[in-house]
Structure 1
Amino acid sequence: LIVDALAANEGRRKFSRDAIGAGPRLVAGVFEKYKLNVRIKRVEDFIEENDEGVNSSDLFLISAMSVDKVAVQKAVKKISKKQQNCKIILGGPILSEKDLTKEIQFDVGVIGEGERIIEGLIRCDFDFSFFQEQESADRFSIEKKNGSLLVKEKSILGTGIFEEFIPSTERILDYPDYWFSKVYVELVRGCSNHYRGELVKTAGGCSGCGECDDPDTIITGDCPEDIPAGCGFCSVSATFGPPRSKKLNQVEKEVEDLLSKGVRRIVLSAPGFLDYFRGRKKEEIYSPTKPEANYAEIANLLQSLSEIRDNQEKVCSISIENVKPSLVTKKIASLISKSLPKTSISIGCETFDTSLSNKIGRPSEPNTALEASRFFFDEGLSTQIYLIHSLPGETVKSLEITKEVVENKLSNFADKITVYRYLSLPGSPFTVTGVPLPTKRHLLDIRRNELKEAIIQFNLEKKKQMIGDEVITIIAEKDKVRKNTFIGYPIFSGPAISIYSEKPIIGNTCKIRVIGVISDKLLEGEISI
């Protein structure tokens, strides 16, 4: 049994309730390769429902992030109580936690890419003595801590991994909410930003070799001092290396299969969509800026997928999310808008202070993100800007600069701003090199609160501008707060909508007229006659 604990936090998803990640389906695909029965269950259902899932399995694979630690602890407690001789394998970003084995009991932890590790265990019928063999010692880094085996590939896997292991599409049906959720399809693995910011260079004892001083000229991810590459707050570059792209025919097959099973919303998953087949064949890309995006490959991909989308009986959407602003051009914005005219584009910026941006390792300056957003907005695409507060290196001035841009420069070419509080991710450059957090200051807290309030007001105003719009929406579930109301998710981009109806309407696809704004995250709507 695969237990999907992604984004479950303390045991139940509060946010991203309409999202299904790619990881658990990928693990399921490894089992299907060997004709083995496998199922997926969300962790909240696993914890809260009866013991059938526990009693019918003796092998549990749990997928989770660092923020999901409490959910994993609850799942492991339930498993251990009911199944004394079962085996528990833990995977996902949660494994980058340094002292995890002191807090959670599990047999094997799979760090980073896990397909071949899982395959090896399947071939030996999950006999963990497999890791004592020479073959395993040659391929994997293996460490035993507090009774748990932590296993990691010694080298980054090549693009052949996508052909060798096919994600399961059959197991999407294990998710009760698959028919209205955004289902993520992996397109690119790894990240091209191998630039290192000033903060991690200083903390990591940089010797000044010059290899990563200029984002345009980086040709290797190596560092004499082993300072992790990439944005200081992110562990993708260090964990998964440079980008590797999935071939078009593989993406087509997976998308077609998912849509044929009733999925309505597909998201192409990538740390940076514009890294798709960038550079020459078999060339590893470590620069986030050079060469430019591969226009021909992206055009072929989007044209093919839009044709698949348009051939479905029901209205469906295919969208992309993350793009590196350093690779966005007018041509790219135009190309995307032609095939995916209603997609939402997410642009990471983190801060609008150029000085802080350089210090934290961003591959381009904030003005580049503003320009990229303008290119997309001019093509009629919805753009979302991501910011982070409480970052290492943050100052009162950097917060004031960011707030000023939010209030005075973004309204003409951004539809939404999402801000997160910085959390130290194990395996990230900041955490590995020990970059300190900003000194606690009352004025910093005041400026952070002012920034968050400015963002809430920005998002509220943008939602008010949607009043009167009509949105094609899947009615997904009951509104747990308001009586005789339901929550709907737009087929294309946009916030959730609360819809009043005295009749049951779950499962319907309706044209909803926006009639009000409930919060900065929720609209009020009515069924359009």
Structure 2
Amino acid sequence: MKKFHIVKLGCPKNDADMEIFKGLLQSKGYKYESNPQLANYIFIDTCGFIVEAKKESIEAIFEYVSLKDNNKNLKVIPIGCLTQRYFDDILKDIPEIDGLYGVLSPKTIVEKIENGEYFFKREIPETLYDCKIRAIPDSHYAYVKIGDGCSRNCAFCSIPTFKGNPKSRSIEEINEEVEFLVSKGVKEIILVSQDNTLYGIDNYQKQALPDLLDKLNTIKGKFWIRVMYLHPDFLSEEIIESIHRNEKVLNYFDVPIQHISDKILQSMGRHKKRNELIKLFEKIRKEPSAIRTTLMVGFPGEKAEDFEELVDFVKEIKFERMGSFIFSKEENTKSFTLPEQIDEQIKKQRQNELMTVQSEISKNIMEKYIGETLEVLLEEKEDNVYVGRSFLDAPEIDGNVYIKNFGDKELTFGNFVKVTITGSYEYDLEGEIVE
């Protein structure tokens, strides 16, 4: 029996793809091997977004190629975004690889493997798939890809060059996948795409995310739905209201604004300016909600006063969750040739300052939950402490809830429990089970 191992890098959309890919390979008689040294195939799903992500992908390729020294039957095959973007360069510079696939559907990759065709790329990326088979995730949550591709053309972003135009799956197909996952015990469905506000623009000729959420909310069973990646320029009142009204959908808004200086936003190719973004957050917070955003520092032309405006805005809005990254100069983007590029050391200093400010804000926000009771999804146990997540916490990027006082009973992973918050940290909460 042929054994395979998967290395998932980059964003959760890759996680969604690889669960489909894993299930398809298993349906063909392949066995998943958690130890890469014992595998016949290692598939590395790469990321090609920014410099650090590309570096991580290249390092992973070399790391797993080195395993061939002790396993002569091993095939190492990179796939995905980096390989779509730099297909010919990788072929030339890393001859040790045994295959290379661009952005292809899991079904196409499996067909190529079965036919012994290990090097393949389409000029137009193949981002969607007919999902009839997928693996059951090891976790109690699952990423479900509702679409892919992007036409926003932000000045700093290379994604449209290797993902192509947006394409959406049908509501019926997504509903079928979610029903299957819930029937197998998955308790949190996380909807992902390059920009979920684009969902339905191609096949329904409208923003169909509200229709999708209304449909998924009718699926029987106790589970959460979390929506990621909502472009602020196109986050409509209808989408906000659909998240607020559907009881299974968490009031968690992932809205990456990138910056707040009107000058920088315009240069980035963003439409909503500072005052409009403030109004947007006011609409979201008409109902108790958590807002996560992502900010970029060091965009070309960012003066000290632009950065200080950003810091002041973060202090004013007080995001429940926030991440940041340093501007990466990417070829084939509008920002690649912009003047006034920022020194790397200044970028790092600004990012450190921004995250220091956010850590204090987050600490204060977390303290306000002391005494409240939250619903928590239990996921694991470490050193006699149960670990779970609340509506505030997307997996792997946000915080956790630690439960130290649970009596003498063993709790079941994958269950929802009521937890009264008794303590807090910068990004995490601590509490005890409500009897």
TM range (shorter): 0.7 to 0.9
Q: Distance in 2 between matches of 1:436 and 1:74?
A: 37
How do 1:122-133 and structure 2 match up within 5 A?
Answer: 122=113, 124=115, 126-128=116-118
Question: TM-score, normalized by length of structure 1?
Answer: 0.69
Change (3 A) 1:454 1:243: same
Match of 2:168 among 226, 230, 245: 245
Q: CA deviation at 1:234?
A: 2.6
SS in 2 for 1:348: coil
CA distance in 2: counterparts of 1:428 and 1:237, whole angstroms: 10
1:435 deviation in Å? 7.5
| Corresponding position of 2:229 | 322
1:24-423 equivalences under 5 Å are: 24-28=18-22, 30-31=24-25, 35-40=27-32, 45-47=34-36, 51=37, 53-54=38-39, 58-65=40-47, 66=53, 67-78=56-67, 80-95=68-83, 96=85, 100=90, 102=93, 105-115=96-106, 117-122=108-113, 124=115, 126-128=116-118, 149=119, 151-157=120-126, 161-162=128-129, 165-166=130-131, 168-169=133-134, 171-173=135-137, 175=138, 178-179=139-140, 182-193=141-152, 230-278=153-201, 293-294=206-207, 297-308=208-219, 311-312=220-221, 315-339=222-246, 340-408=248-316, 410-411=317-318, 414-423=319-328
Which residue does the alignment assign to 2:385?
485
**Contact 2:401-2:428 at 8 Å conserved across structures:** yes
Shift of 1:506: 5.7
Instruction: Give the direction of change, closer, same or farther, for the CA distance of 1:153–1:475 in structure 2 (3 Å limit).
Output: same
2:81·2:162 contact (CA, 8 Å) conserved in 1?
no
- What amino acid sits opposite 2:284 in the alignment? F
Change (3 A) 1:361 1:40: farther
Whole-Å Cα distance in 1 between the matches of residues 176 and 94 of structure 2?
A: 41
Question: Bigger relative contact order, structure 1 or 2, given CA contacts below 8 A and separation 6+?
Answer: 1
Q: Name the SS for the 1:357 alignment partner.
A: helix
Rounded to whole Å, the distance in 1 between the matches of 2:250 and 2:169 is: 24
Cα drift, residue 72 of structure 1: 4.2
Task: Give the 5 Å matches for 1:465-480.
Answer: 465-479=368-382
State the shift of 1:526 in Å: 1.7
Q: Secondary structure at the match of 2:279?
A: helix
Deviates more, 1:248-257 or 1:333-342: 333-342
Q: Give the drift of 1:461.
A: 1.5
Aligned to 1:3: 5
Letter in 2 for 1:421: I
RMSD, aligned α-carbons: 3.3
2:342 to 430, 438, 447: 438
Q: Map 1:424-463; keep pairs closer than 5 Å.
A: 430=335, 437-439=341-343, 446-463=349-366
Change (3 A) 1:257 1:402: same
Deviation at 1:396, TM superposition (A): 1.2
TM score, norm. by length of structure 2: 0.83
Q: Which amino acid aligns with 1:473?
A: V
Name 2:400's counterpart in structure 1: 496
- The Cα of 1:402 is off from its aligned counterpart by 0.2
State the secondary structure of the residue aligned to 2:96.
coil
One-letter amino acid of the structure 2 residue matched with residue 418 of structure 1: G
Instruction: Specify whether residues 382 and 70 from structure 1 end up closer, same or farther in structure 2 by C-alpha distance, changes over 3 A only.
Output: same
- Where 1:238 maps in the other structure, the secondary structure is helix
The 3-state SS of whatever aligns with 1:242 is coil
- Counterparts of 1:365 and 1:474, CA distance in 2: 37
> Secondary structure at the residue paired with 1:350?
coil
Among candidates 521, 524, 527, match of residue 427 of structure 2: 521
Q: What is the CA-CA distance between 1:377 and the residue it aligns to?
A: 1.4
C-alpha distance 356-36 of structure 1, shift in aligned 2 (>3 A): same
Equivalent residues of 1:185, 1:268 under 8 A apart? yes
Residue identity over aligned pairs, in percent, reads: 18
Cα deviation code 1:113-155 (max 9, x no counterpart): 344752552452x145xxxxxxxxxxxxxxxxxxxx5x42122
Take 2:213 and 2:422, find their aligned partners in 1: how far apart are those partners?
A: 34
Asked whether the 8 Å contact 1:235–1:429 carries over to 2, the reply is no
Structure 1 Cα separation of the partners of residues 41 and 202 of structure 2 = 42
Q: Which residue of 1 aligns with 2:50?
A: none
1:427/1:477 CA distance change after superposition, 3 Å: farther
1:89 and 1:110 in contact (8 A); partners too: yes
Give secondary structure in 1 for the equivalent of 2:370.
coil
1:363 Cα deviation from its structure 2 partner = 4.5
Q: CA deviation at 1:274?
A: 1.7
Could you tell me how far apart the structure 1 residues matched to 2:236 and 2:19 are? Answer: 34
Alignment CA distance shift 1:445-1:63 (3 Å):
closer
Q: Secondary structure at the match of 2:257?
A: strand
- Paired residues of 1:360 and 1:392 also in contact (CA < 8 A): no
User: SS at the partner of 2:35?
Assistant: helix
CA contact (8 A) 2:5 2:41 kept: no
The CA deviation string for residues 193-218 of structure 1, in whole angstroms up to 9 with x for no partner, is 0xxxxxxxxxxxxxxxxxxxxxxxxx
Matched residues in 1 for 2:411 and 2:94: separation?
Answer: 44
SS in 2 for 1:266: strand
SS at match of 1:21: helix
Q: Specify the code of the residue in structure 1 equivalent to 2:429.
A: L
